[in-house]
């Protein structure tokens, strides 16, 4: 089973925070978010605000990157882009 996006972010944030010797409250204060928000991120809660998540990641020296996925939906979309529309 593959790790979900939220689980991956949660694990990375937890590991980085612990590696820097910060408490959840320390990180929250530095990032300008609540301790509760940091806790939610580290628990992998799926409904977090992107701007707040970005502040936490930036505080820890992490960044969020987008990459092309190889899911069925992505394959279907790329296939649809390759199909030419019929001419008149």
pLDDT band of residue 1 (cuts 50, 70, 90) is: very low
Domains (ranges, CATH) in the chain?
Answer: 5-82 (1.10.260.40)
Is residue 13 within 8 Å of 57, Cβ to Cβ?
yes
Give residue-wise pLDDT tens across range 40-84.
999 998 777 888 888 899 999 998 886 766 666 656 666 655 545
Spatial separation of the C-alpha atoms in residues 10 and 67, rounded to whole Å: 19
What pLDDT is attached to residue 54? 87
Are residues 38 and 27 in contact, defined by beta-carbon separation less than 8 angstroms? yes
pTM of the model: 0.65
Question: Mean per-residue pLDDT for 30-46?
Answer: 93
* C-beta of residue 65 within 8 angstroms of C-beta of residue 20: no
- The answer on pLDDT for 11 being more than 70 is yes
């Amino acid at each position: 089973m593959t790790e979900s996006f939220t689980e991956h972010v949660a694990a990375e944030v937890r590991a980085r925070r612990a590696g820097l010797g910060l408490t959840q409250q320390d990180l929250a204060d530095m990032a300008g978010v609540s301790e509760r928000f940091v806790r939610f991120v580290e628990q992998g809660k799926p409904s977090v605000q992107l701007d707040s998540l970005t502040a936490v990641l930036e505080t820890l020296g992490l960044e969020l990157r987008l990459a092309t996925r190889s899911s069925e939906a992505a394959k279907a979309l790329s296939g649809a882009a390759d199909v030419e529309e019929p001419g008149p």
